[in-house]
Amino acid sequence: MVGEIGTLLLGISLAISLYAAYAAWRGIQLSAVPASSARSRTWLQSAQNAVYMQAALLGAALLILLVAFLSDHFEISYVAQHSSMVIPVYLKISAVWAGQEGSLLLWCFLQALFAALATGCASERARSLVPWTTVFLSLITAFFVAVTLFLSHPFTLLSQPPLDGRGLNPLLRHPGMIFHPPALYVGYVGLAIPFAFAMAALITRRIEGWTAAIRTWTLIAWLGLGLGLLLGMRWAYDVLGWGGYWGWDPVENAGLLPWFTTTALLHGAVMQEEKRGFHVWNMLMVIFSFALVLFGTFATRSGMIQSVHAYTVSNLGGYFLTAIVVTLGGSLALLYARRAALKDSSPIVEGLLSRDGMFFLTLALFTTLTVSVLVGSLLPTLTEVFSGQRFEAGPAWFDRVTGPQFAVLILIIGLCPLLGRGVAALQRLRRLRWVVIGGAMTVPVAAGLTGFTDVFSLIGFAISGFAGAATLAEFVEGVMTRRKRTDEAPLNALWQLLRLQRRKYGGYLVHLGVILMALGIIGTRMYPFEMQITLNAGQSTAVKGYTLIFEELKTAFIADYNATWANVSVYRGDTYLTTLQPQLNRYTGDQTVTMPALLPGLHEDLYLILSGWTGDGTSATFKVIVNMLVNFLWLGGLIFLAGGGLALWPRMEHRTWNVVAFSVGLALLFGAGWAMWGMPHGSVDYGDGRPLVGQEAPDFRLSLLDGGTTSLKDLRGQIAVVNFWASWCPSCVEEMPALQDVWEMYEDKGVTFLGITYQDDVSTVRSALTQYGTTYPVGLDTGDRITDRYGITGIPETFIVDADGRVAHVHVGPIAAEALVTQLEALLK
Amino acid sequence: MSLGAIFVGVAVAVVTIAYIARPFRAAAMHTPASDVDRLIETWVRAIADVSSSTTRTGINFCPQCGRQVAPDHRFCPGCGQRLPVNEDVA
Amino acid sequence: MQNKTSFIVAGLLVVGAMIYLIVSSTGSTAQYFLTVEEILAMDDEAMQRNITVSGAVLGETIVYDALAPRVTFTILNVPADPQEVERRGGLARVLHDAVQDPIGARLEVVYNGVKPDLLQNEAQAIVRGKMAMDGRLYADEVLLKCPSRYEEEIPTQVDD
């Protein structure tokens, strides 16, 4: 019954969206004649009610799907495919959009919701455009609902409902994947709003103000896309286990392309609002943004683009292609029909080396970037048509084609604030030249000194340094100018500056974020490092300044998968850094998921993958990847989001609302930060780390069971066998007889034995000692202080310290008498 | 289709239709304007504004089909729409 | 009007640079995208080039040496044209049929790397590499896709 209600809701929504379009159109018709203005009003009101109702119904349908997941309604085919009884609640929620049907329903709901918000809360400037916007938005919603209802139905029922679902694709069980699709969809769906308003503006000839009218929506869509892309990159980096974050895969490009055109639109809108033209360009950008959204959906579902990342060839392809053709054809025709109205706006153009020129170049470059990536994605089809041979564009192709374009964009980021308008600009440039040259020099020099020597990368660093210096100079100058007027403290002045000129400084923050991301991209793309190595247990290897020691392999059965991980200690020189635990999970159905372990750092990330092992766990194969400067990418991404959020944030009249808005924004930013960085990365710190052989054994003070204390220093001059154990540990008690035997053999030969118990209590320890007749001194390690200092990862572990206080031998696991004797004999010589 | 689902579906449809038809009933009964009514009022005024105003260059456009019309036309030659009379033609 | 000229020139330069980058990259870094049948019919000259081939993995031929690491497996011919795939009943069906076909064109792939998680019977493999004299394809990169019921968000397994 639950599924059936969902179907009915979808059907009613379709009818309503068609009605809304009709009612709005009728209202527009009637408004032309003053006599029927009242009837016009009625029709428009009815249309608006329909828009609200649409959002409510589709929201209800989505809610029903959610409920179906949460209460395990496996008679619904989609639920059975993507959920099961054992997965946790938060994953059941994200399973709603794990497949095509559910994600389309999410799309429909967002479409209706945004339409309701955009038309209901339209700003003063946008009022006259709302009725036509309603027509277009309702038609778009109708299209998506029709596709969902007839071609990709989420509520199809199974005649024989299974007892349990198939479960969620293991790779999607990452909290980041909860937010990545919805964020992307906010972007995709959001782009329909500026498009609809643009069409309304064209029809009613209200060209002048439309960009300002929908500035907020454009920013929201742009930010949503950006967040979605960043989250996708971080998820790929964390989960997919190939050490990278962007493969230039057509599906990735499908999200990047509309982001390019929307960024171009944002910049063009600035020009248009300053009465400097770019009307036609902005129209084209908004049309293509929306068309690219449809194209992205089409391309990934039609099989036209060969992609490993793609979905199965589905029947949706043809319908989306038709939608694209209709949209492009109709909007371009309308644009042409209204060309007279657009021509009125002739830009006041200054020279190329001016702010206007920079904006022009920016738009030009984003256009060529869009074309480049589009060509690359379609290259197999294009080359087959033109030359008969199918060529494919790999990552190298994309890097080579887009790299220089991005580099010039970064250069423009730096030039734009420097090149203002007129004479004042030249004076400013002269004043700032040392700052800017300094920036352009320090970054490459610093990079070169820390090991980055490739020429192209140094050029990239120079450009980034230049742009960064120019942008930071804007902040500094802004603060200085303000302080001259208000005499505030510098931080306060900065705060006021950000608060009062959100768009300008939000934009500069975004630029700063992009510059940092560029540094990360240069580091990872131009200095790749990857190595495969097989190690035996206890064996170490040196990699780029790190020492990696493969300690041991462990297995555990968790929920519905078998997890195997390796403990790999990481040292730099003699200093223990952490223990990485790269993992491999084997799920029922023989599907494996690699979980890499990560040691992040400012200079680089150490990225470790467990590839394979021998059956008995004595040997394992690892892939070691070092990603240079990659954290600049994530840091830059956060600053980018912060800047976008700042530009977006509304300024409201009441102080309380402002505080609320600010807190919400900050919370969202932290949320994004957590999604980017907060995922566990498979590293664990075992105290101070195990001391390496040859290192001085960490000193400690132990209270002995029989009274008195001893310290390791007291035992200098003797060989000390330090054994960490516990009475509740079966392997430990296994080795106790052996330890006692060897102790008895060597106790007058200058050898001391010391037993240290881990998380144990006096009585059980005493009974164990009595049971095994242990006579060497034993003490309890209260508070785990000593085990921390020795980086114990498990018990038993035995350390042999020579007469000079240095670690001579480390044995993990129960030690046999022969092994102990061999070691002691060697030391006594 | 189970009986329960049909019942819910019909209920939803009825509520929806009632909500959509509300403006028509309100107009018929002259009920006081609500917030949505006032909102619509501003839209209608704004559209009427666009429909009846001239552009900067003093040319008229038909509010129905957007076609360019001369200031003294009373009917649009393109779609036949009756054009509003302008007292303040520049 | 001189201003406008400089803009037009700049615009043309940018577009020209883009075209140059695209064409030169296509010439040098792009790869042939072929089916197994097409590779077997290839002449010696084509043997030198980087090629990309798509095929169905025959599970029983997967041999993995975890310590090297090195994996060898055989892929079977899968049609490249999506319409053809659709006519034959969809990708999953086509992969299944390819694997069942005892006389279908096949190619052995050698990959010096860790065995990708998704390498299993009836998976679709996209392999980039070069043909060698022994008639086997030595892969630089193996991409895999599940013949899936997981329609959205299919993971990319990219091993370089």
Model pLDDT, residue A310? 44
Domain final residue pick, A631, A651, A669 = A631
Query: Are C147 and C111 found together in one domain?
Result: yes
Query: Are A93 and A113 found together in one domain?
Result: yes
Does residue A443 form part of some domain? no
Query: Are A23 and A162 found together in one domain?
Result: yes
CA atoms within 13 A on the CB side of A195: 33
Name, of A84-88, A105-109, A476-480, the range with top average pLDDT. Answer: A105-109
pLDDT band at C143; cut points 50, 70, 90: confident
Tell me what the pLDDT averaged over chain C comes to.
Answer: 78
Query: Are C35 and C104 found together in one domain?
Result: yes
pLDDT band at A238; cut points 50, 70, 90: confident
Q: CB of B46 within 8 Å of any CB in chain A?
A: yes
Residue A25 pLDDT > 50, yes or no?
yes
Does residue A442 form part of some domain? no
Query: Are A203 and A145 found together in one domain?
Result: no
| Nearest CA-CA distance, residue A98 and chain C, Å | 6
Q: CB of C21 within 8 Å of any CB in chain A?
A: yes
Strand runs (DSSP E) across C24-152, as ranges? 31-35, 51-65, 70-77, 106-111, 124-131, 137-145
Does residue A436 form part of some domain? no
Which residues in chain C (32-91) have CB-CB distances under 8 A to chain A?
32-34, 52, 54, 64, 66-67, 69, 80, 82, 85-86, 90-91
Give the residue extent of every domain in chain B. 3-69
Query: Are C35 and C66 found together in one domain?
Result: yes
Query: Are A199 and A319 found together in one domain?
Result: yes
In this complex, do B9 and A57 lie within 8 Å of one another by their Cβ atoms? no
Query: Are A142 and A245 found together in one domain?
Result: no
Does residue A715 form part of some domain? yes
pTM for this model (two decimals): 0.80
Model pLDDT, residue A406? 95
Say if residues A560 and A167 touch (Cβ distance below 8 Å): yes
Does residue A404 form part of some domain? no
Residue B22 pLDDT > 80, yes or no?
yes
Host domain of residue A597: 526-631
Q: Which residue has the higher pLDDT, A108 or B45?
A: A108
Q: How far is CA A82 from CA A72, A77, A203, A762, in A?
A: 11, 9, 45, 52
Dump pLDDT digits (tens) for A710-724: 888 888 888 999 999
Residue A781 and residue A790: Cα distance in Å, rounded?
A: 12
Residues in chain A with CB shorter than 8 Å from the CB of B41 are: 41
Query: Are C118 and C74 found together in one domain?
Result: yes
Phi, psi of B38 (to 5 degrees): -65, -35
User: Residue C64 sits in a domain of what CATH number?
Assistant: 2.40.50.140
In this complex, do C151 and A365 lie within 8 Å of one another by their Cβ atoms? no
Say if residues A220 and A228 touch (Cβ distance below 8 Å): no
Query: What's the whole-number mean pLDDT along residues A750-758?
Result: 90
Residue A813 and residue A732: Cα distance in Å, rounded?
A: 8
Residue of A nearest to B49 (CA): A128
Query: Are A293 and A158 found together in one domain?
Result: no
Query: Are A194 and A89 found together in one domain?
Result: no
Any chains having at least 3 CB pairs less than 8 A from chain B are A
Host domain of residue C16: 1-30
Domain final residue pick, A293, A318, A352 = A352
In this complex, do C156 and A308 lie within 8 Å of one another by their Cβ atoms? yes
Model pLDDT, residue C154? 36
Mutate to test the interface with B, among A2, A31, A45 (most CBs of B within 10 A): A45
Domain count, chain A: 4
- Cα A648 to chain centroid distance, Å, stands at 21
Lowest mean pLDDT among A152-156, A542-546, B40-44, C1-5: C1-5
pLDDT band at A175; cut points 50, 70, 90: low
Residue A12 and residue A61: Cα distance in Å, rounded?
A: 11
Q: CB of C125 within 8 Å of any CB in chain A?
A: no
Query: Are C82 and C19 found together in one domain?
Result: no
Residues in chain C with CB shorter than 8 Å from the CB of A530 are: 160
Query: Are A61 and A130 found together in one domain?
Result: yes
Query: Are A193 and A285 found together in one domain?
Result: yes
In this complex, do A240 and C156 lie within 8 Å of one another by their Cβ atoms? yes
Domain final residue pick, A136, A151, A168 = A168
Query: Are A139 and A273 found together in one domain?
Result: no
Dump pLDDT digits (tens) for A643-674: 998 898 877 667 777 788 788 888 888 887 87
Token pair recorded at residue A135: 């027509």
Residue A200 and residue A262: Cα distance in Å, rounded?
A: 19
Q: What is the DSSP string of A507-523?
A: HHHHHHHHHHHHHHHHH
Closest listed residue to residue A205, CA positions, set A264, A283, A257, A317: A283
Residue A193 pLDDT > 80, yes or no?
yes
Q: CB of B14 within 8 Å of any CB in chain A?
A: no
Query: How many other β-carbons are positioned within 10 Å of the β-carbon of residue A449?
Result: 9
Residues in chain B with CB shorter than 8 Å from the CB of A203 are: 66
Query: Are A182 and A311 found together in one domain?
Result: yes
Domain count, chain C: 2
Residue of A nearest to B2 (CA): A1
Query: Are C93 and C20 found together in one domain?
Result: no
Model pLDDT, residue C119? 84
Sheet with A619-628, strands from edge to edge, namely A529-536, A619-628, A604-613, A597-599
Does residue A489 form part of some domain? no
What's the complex ipTM?
A: 0.78
Query: Are A31 and A127 found together in one domain?
Result: yes
Token pair recorded at residue A249: 């895969």
Model pLDDT, residue A422? 58
Query: Are C37 and C64 found together in one domain?
Result: yes
Does residue A227 form part of some domain? yes
Residues in chain A with CB shorter than 8 Å from the CB of C10 are: 352, 357, 360-361, 364
